Structure 1
Amino acid sequence: MSSTIKYRPEIDGLRALAVVPVVLFHSGVEAFSGGFSGVNIFFVISGYLITSIISREIESNTFKISTFYQKRADRLFPVLASVLLATLIIGFFTSPPDEYQEIAKSVIAAGTFTSNIFFWSTSDYFSASAFTIPLLHTWSLGIEEQFYIFFPFVLIIAFRLKLPIALVAIAAAVSFTLSSLALQNYSSATFYLLPTRAWELLIGALLALIRLPIPSRRIASEVLSWTGLSMCLWCIFFFNKETAFPGPNALFPVLGAALLIYSTAHPQNSIRKAFNFAPVTTLGKASYSIYMWHWPFIVFYGLVFGYPSNLVQSILIAAISICIGLFSWATIEKWSRGKIARLRPIPASACVVSIFLPVIALSSSTLLTNGLPFRVESNVIAAEAALEDYSPYRASCHSGEGNRLEYSKSCILGHSNSPSSVAVWGDSHGVEIAAALAEQLAPEKQSVRQLTYSSCPPAINLAKASRPGCRSHNEATLQAIIADPQIQTVILSAYFPVNQKISSDFLDGFKASVEHLESAGKNVIVMYPLPQTTDNAPTMIARSIMLSQKRATSMTLEAFMNKYSESFDLVSGLPSSVTKIESWKNFCINDDCYVGDEGGAYFFDGHHPSMHGARLIARDIANAISLQSDHAVATSTPSI
């Protein structure tokens, strides 16, 4: 039996189907809201091809693990090293020290194929901040390389036991079950880690091991291929970042890709002919380079020039990133495959390692010097210092899963000898507001009780899978506030999602909290949303100074109003007796909303108010409390 497999150009066509939606999704083309599922198609292809090669070599007694690893390195390292070096060089000129340190850490993670583990511990793939992380996309490369490291040994053992299909099927079933069960409570780990992703590659491996005969009738291949294509396209166009993923929903692109690989082997298959179209196969051949280059380009372009704001800009950005990938394929990939592949093993390995030397040198020096601060002026470093401009009480007075503070043990901030007449109840966005308000009220001999719980807005009966203690915390907090005669005013603080529909649970629970508090005679203050950013506000200010750009903005005023329209409607629709604070007017001037002023950044990250920003909010709240007190005095004074 031959140890080589026949080249199938239609699989390169399938690669094109995988990579183009990913690029369009990342470029902001809304129609491709599920373009991220293209990565699942890549996984199936990789599992199929690698298993086809290894299994035949094992059967012909020609498989050498060292040769396998060397070929993987020859294939992947030159482009990877080029992307990492380019990221470090561009970041050298555009990234402030703290951000540059994070880039260096991600470079090391990507170079050691552990970036999926690194980003699991640091980043949410679907969050707005993802658009500031140029190597986030390398998580999938980490998955594949970890699979390549371990899977050959699994196959060797499976063939020796003469149970390759059974053992791989069991492994796939275990991985899929783990992915499905862990998705709700451990969504980030399920997304990023190999144990919950391996089944996607193993489906491709099973297809290679079973070696089903090509469908004898064209009509059968057509039905199977169009079914597979429909499954893939359904995900690409109808999934979005709110879709529970991977888990069971990943079956659609995975099984769809497997059906396409199998059915397009028929020589007369219509989709095979479309996939064999030269421009399509070219995109497929260049798919690795396109994938590796597209995301750093999109991120750095957005950070320096701004992210696409309309469809034309998004398509243009996608087209440019694809062209960069095609250039990389035509130069770096073809050169490295031609030159390195002809070398003997030891010189080839030395050549591959030497490619990484400048990457290692620059990333190491960046970490050792805390971001190469000599590159920037002192005002850049001062601007970045606002990353730590948060409440001194955040660690000790803020509750969360596993460390909930009972009402009796909650922190009272401000004037130490005064009972607290004001309470801040909410999620983590109320932490700095409580501290800043305590500063404002201390001269008036008033104090503030902080009642904040991470990712838990003050909406009773709100159940959150990620915060199982939230509901009981809110119920206990509400009852404690009502029962406390000293508390006269309650500030409700909540994170309002951008560009998202507010759930009925949140809406009803928030309104119910207000109703219960007012029924108990408490004065209620609610804040309108604030214009959050996609990046850390201090970093944006520091970068604008580095690049001599105008004052950093988060968005236009019009965009702010549109993106938060449901949140504005929620606050505006509360009873007239509720005091509504429009602190966003401190952040938005004329037609733009800014991330800071001469006093510093308004946020210490992308959405949590810094102490500087919180002081602006607290000033408005203190004025509202003063007006409430004046009104109470006026209404209680008898007329003469």
Structure 2
Amino acid sequence: MQPAVSGQTTAAGYRPDIDGLRAVAVLAVILYHVGVSWMPGGFVGVDVFFVISGYVIARGLMREAAGGGIRLADFYARRIRRILPALVATLALTSLAAYWLLLPPQLEDYAGSAAASALSVANLYFWRASGYFDAAALYRPLLHTWSLSVEEQFYFVLPVSLLLLVRLRVRPLWLPFAVIALLSFGLSLYAGRHAPTANFYLLPTRAWELLVGTLLAMAPFGTARPLPSFLRHPVLRQLAGLAGLAGILAPSLLYTESTPFPGAGALPPCLGAALLIRLGETQGPRAAATRLLALPPLVAVGLISYSAYLVHWPLIVLGRIALMRDFTTLETVAVIAATLVLAALSYRFVEQPFRRPHEPVRSRPRRLGPVFASSLLATLAMAGLGWAGVTSGGLPGRFPDFRLRSIPGTETWNHRTCFLFADQTWQAWDPEGCTRTADGDGMARTDRVLLWGDSFAAHYVPGLIRHADRLPGRLVQYTAAGCQPTLGAASHVVPHCRAFNDNALALIRRLGIRHVVLAARWGAQRDRSVPERLRETAAQVAALGARVHVVGQSPEFPLDPAFMAYHQRRDPPHAAGRWRPVETGSLNEALRAALPAGATFVDPRAALCAGDTCPYAQGDTFLYADTGHFSSAGAMLAVERLLAAGLLAPARSAAAAP
């Protein structure tokens, strides 16, 4: 995201409503990232910024084209002055904090992302490294810079393209950009099903959002463009303003991380932003929405929105790492306040000093050289520091007694056969290869227990195999990455999730499954409809004659076990190896309450934890392979405790707790 053009004027003069729109966008992003529960779709603020940026930049270029021609050197010098100082300052301060806080593997990853951010290829780095909604993403201080890179890549292309088309006298000028926007949108729809992570991060599938603003700026150029006739009526104009706000606010409040995105899901916020920009462009009586966006408090936040976006995520991530837990309500408020204070300081003392007034044409050649030279030096310096951090393995000399060792567990999941990846459909699943245990004494050959879920179901496999003699049938593993086992579940990361889950019913029917165990990372997507979908899924499974056993959310920790163990290396024996997990109690209670009669529910947290802490290690043995997935040893302990708590118990004594 690049809201750095705050204060930019259009042909009609300064637009306070655009700064207000920036404020809405950046506040949505900050509230989403800090974990405010009622803003589960705040990530759409980035899309609003894309539209604003496309509009403001194209409007300025169109004004230059009409006034004597586009000067590329001037354009890029302005971009450097507005973007680079605050970015370099943020990278420098974040890198200093990371040096003191992050252990070698964390710093190695951070250093790679810092180099990528400095070179405007952070979106490529994170595309290859992870997904935006992955659990690991919560601990990457520069993840948010992916959107800056998308915009900078767009700015490399747009001015050159516009200059060529103007010189070639292409008419209408907007037509090639409209064609590219349609192609980009179509590619986004396609990639949403076949390459969801690339769809999220890469310019070709995001360009249409910036081009919405670009096309808006290319409408007939003038100081007071009239609204379309159907919007000239005062009532319709007011309704259009409300519709524009709703296009942004409704997704912010209603979307979740399971919403297919971008693609069609990005249309409401993008079109809403475009409509609000267009309404604020006209002279005469303004719509109420335009007046609302122009209120001084929103304008003030909009002016500092670029710096606010830069500093908010490092504050959140490094704060969580330093505390080794999530924020309390008071700490959340403090982080938001600190973001705004730091952003105001950055705007006043970093951004503004570099935003020089326009100089006479005759002075430009003499002054542009230092701008480009200093930007190149700063970029290479940050990239070089990042390279040093990567090649050194995260500067391990800072923590000479830290050791990272492999933790067994995931190798038993049967990747790409029984545990499917996002690029696989359910047809890749192998019923024979995924029958994981043999016949037991007194067990009919047709008795089967289906384990259905995501990676938080697959992580029980080592324990279920170890305790196969206590299962009422042979274990059949049916799991897929990031796919919750509820009918109707959607995931932008796993486009085939819905079909995978629908096939589970056919599988239960075909194999005559008598016991179905549903397990997942139930809180992964901030989706408030999960309990309702679980209720419906359990009812449909029961209607097929199978007993339903639901395993609640298992404990998750703020850091990998190796990092927590290092931080606790001097703790007394009774405290070492235990830590407070991420809060899941209310979620498990909601899941338990949603289940129909006859379904069994077991709570892993109640079975494994004591008081407000849970074990992540027993002596030198780690029970977790990462922040939430059990290791082999952890899975064996967990399954033993869950079986004792009533999982798969005979119906007459089945437990609905603990």
Q: State the TM-score, normalized to the length of structure 2.
A: 0.78
Indicate which of 461, 465, 468 corresponds to 1:434: 461
Give the counterpart of 1:175 among 184, 188, 204. 184
Distance 1:36 1:233, change over 3 A: farther
What corresponds to 2:215 in structure 1? 206
Pair 1:363 & 2:386 matched: yes
How big is each residue's C-alpha offset from its partner over 1:239-284, in whole Å with a ceiling of 9 and x where there is no partner? 3325444334433332333333333342663666665555544432
**Residue 527 of structure 1, CA deviation:** 5.4
The aligned residue for residue 495 of structure 1 is 520
Q: 1:319: which partner in 2?
A: 337
Cα offset, 1:106, TM superposition: 1.9
Match of 2:395 among 372, 387, 398: 372
1:340-351 alignment, distance < 5 Å: 344-351=367-374
For the 8 Å contact 2:112–2:389, the answer to whether it is kept is no
Per the TM alignment, residue 433 of structure 1 is displaced from its structure 2 partner at its CA by: 2.6
What residue is the counterpart of 1:590 in the other structure?
A: 611
Letter paired with 2:385: L
* Aligned 8 A contact 2:485 2:520 in 1: no
Structure 1: unaligned runs, 5 residues or longer: 484-488, 519-523, 633-640
- Give how far 1:82 is off: 2.0
Answering whether residue 8 of structure 2 is matched by residue 8 of structure 1, we say no
Counterpart position of 1:190: 199
Of 364, 381, 392, which residue of structure 1 is paired with 2:403? 381
Moved more, 103-112 or 592-601: 592-601
Q: Tell me whether 1:164 sits opposite 2:173 in the alignment.
A: yes
After TM superposition, the structure 1 = structure 2 runs for residues 277-296 of structure 1, keeping only pairs within 5 Å, are 280-296=298-314
Give the whole-Å Cα distance in 2 for the aligned partners of 1:462 and 1:33.
16
Contact kept, 8 Å, 1:537 with 1:596, in 2: the verdict is no
CA distance in 2, matches of 1:628, 1:249: 43
Cα distance 1:393–1:200, how it changes in 2: closer, same or farther (>3 A)? Answer: closer
Tell me the CA shift for residue 185 of structure 1.
5.6
Pair 1:543–1:162, CA change in 2 (3 A)? farther
| TM-superposition CA deviations, 1:288-332 (whole Å, max 9, x none) | 11111111112222232343343x543332121011111111112
Query: Secondary structure at 1:453's aligned position in 2?
Result: strand
**Counterparts of 1:512 and 1:268 in 2: how far apart (Å)?**
56
Residue type at the aligned position of 1:478: I
Aligned counterparts, 1:102-251, within 5 A: 102-159=109-166, 160=168, 161-180=170-189, 182-183=191-192, 186-211=195-220, 214=224, 224=237, 227-228=240-241, 230-233=243-246, 235-237=248-250, 238-241=253-256, 242-251=258-267
Q: Which residue of 2 aligns with 1:619?
A: 640
Return the alpha-carbon distance in structure 2 between the equivalents of residues 627 and 507 of structure 1.
19
Name the residue aligned to 2:63.
56
Shift of 1:370: 2.1
Which among 295, 315, 329 is matched to residue 297 of structure 1?
315
Counterpart check, 1:76 vs 2:83: yes
Matched, 1:390 2:410: yes
Report sequence identity in percent: 25
Within 5 A, what are the aligned runs for 1:554-565? 554-555=581-582, 559-565=583-589
- Give the drift of 1:385: 4.2
User: Does structure 1 residue 98 correspond to structure 2 residue 105?
Assistant: yes
Are residues 1:331 and 2:349 paired?
yes
Contact residue 554 and residue 594 of structure 1 kept, 8 A: no
* Residues 1:52 and 1:560: Cα distance change in structure 2 (over 3 Å): closer
Pair 457,16 (structure 1): closer, same or farther in 2 beyond 3 Å = closer
Which of 537, 543, 567 is residue 591 of structure 2 equivalent to?
567
CA distance 1:189–1:357, shift in 2 (3 Å): closer
Q: Distance in 2 between the 1:90 and 1:414 partners? A: 53
Matched position secondary structure for 1:410 = coil
Indicate the larger mover: 317-326 or 613-622: 613-622
Q: Which stretch shifts more, 325-334 or 278-287?
A: 278-287
- For the structure 1 residues 593 and 279, does the alpha-carbon distance in structure 2 shift closer, same or farther, using more than 3 Å as the test? same
C-alpha distance in 2, partners of 1:195/1:583? 43
Following TM superposition, by how much is the alpha carbon of 1:540 offset from its aligned partner in structure 2, in angstroms? 5.4
Once residues 422 and 624 of structure 1 are traced to their aligned partners in structure 2, the CA distance between those partners, rounded to angstroms, is: 21
Cα shift at 1:131 = 2.7
CA contact (8 A) 2:244 2:276 kept: no
CA distance in 2, matches of 1:195, 1:360: 25
Shift of 1:598: 3.8
Question: SS of the residue aligned with 2:517?
Answer: strand
- Please report how far the alpha carbon of residue 181 of structure 1 lies from its aligned counterpart in structure 2 after TM superposition: 5.3
Residue 469 of structure 1 and its aligned partner are, at CA, apart by: 5.8
The separation in 1 between residues aligned to 2:586 and 2:37, in whole angstroms, is 17
Larger Rg, first or second structure (1 or 2): 1
Looking at secondary structure, tell me which structure has more helix per residue.
1
Contact 1:39/1:140, CA 8 A, preserved across alignment: yes
212 and 8 in structure 1: CA distance in 2 versus 1, 3 angstrom threshold:
same
Structure 1, 395-404 or 170-179: larger mean CA deviation: 395-404
State the Cα deviation string for residues 422-481 of structure 1 (Å, max 9, x = none).
Answer: 756333334443323434569x99997552331466779989852366257635753675
**Once structures 1 and 2 are overlaid, which stretch shifts more, 79-88 or 588-597?**
588-597
Q: Secondary structure of 2:410's partner?
A: coil
SS of corresponding position for 1:307: coil
Residue 508 of structure 2: aligned partner: 478
Give the whole-Å Cα distance in 2 for the aligned partners of 1:184 and 1:234.
24
Measured at CA, do residues 48 and 453 of structure 1 come closer, stay the same or move farther in structure 2, by a change above 3 Å? same
Aligned residue type for 1:166: L
Cα separation, 1, equivalents of 2:471 and 2:290? 78
Q: Distance in 2 between matches of 1:625 and 1:39?
A: 46
User: Deviation of residue 492 (structure 1)?
Assistant: 2.3
Note closer, same or farther for the CA distance 1:627–1:493 as it changes in structure 2 (3 Å cut): closer
Does the C-alpha gap of structure 1 residues 440 and 216 become closer, same or farther in structure 2, counting only changes over 3 Å?
Answer: closer
Counterpart check, 1:528 vs 2:551: yes
Question: Partner letter of residue 239 of structure 1?
Answer: L
Provide the rounded CA distance (Å) in 1 between the counterparts of 2:543 and 2:236: 58
**Which residue of 438, 463, 466 corresponds with 2:496?**
466
TM-score by length of 1: 0.80
- Once the two structures are superposed, what CA deviation does each residue of 1:2-37 show, in whole Å capped at 9, x if it has no partner? x99564142333323332332233233344444333
In structure 2, what is the Cα distance between the partners aligned to 1:517 and 1:35?
Answer: 42
CA RMSD, 1 decimal: 4.3
Query: Which residue identity does 2:345 align to in structure 1?
Result: F
What is the distance in 2 between the residues matched to 1:163 and 1:333?
37
In 2, Cα distance between equivalents of 1:409 and 1:81: 52
CA distance in 2, matches of 1:348, 1:195: 29
Matched-pair contact (CA < 8 Å) for 2:449–2:474: yes
Residues 96 and 542 of structure 1 are in contact (CA less than 8 Å); yes or no, is this contact kept in structure 2?
no
- Is the 2:241–2:289 contact (alpha carbons within 8 Å) kept by the matching residues of 1? no
Q: Is the 8 A contact 2:248 2:272 kept in 1?
A: no
Task: Indicate how the Cα distance of structure 1 residues 49 and 560 shifts in structure 2: closer, same or farther if over 3 A, else same.
Answer: closer
Contact 1:587–1:595 (Cα < 8 Å) also in 2: no
Distance 2:302 2:147 in 1: 17
2:6 matched residue in structure 1: none
Deviations 1:548-572 (A, max 9, x none): 89843223xxx53311223223568
Say if 1:256 and 1:440 are closer, same or farther in 2 by CA, change over 3 A: closer
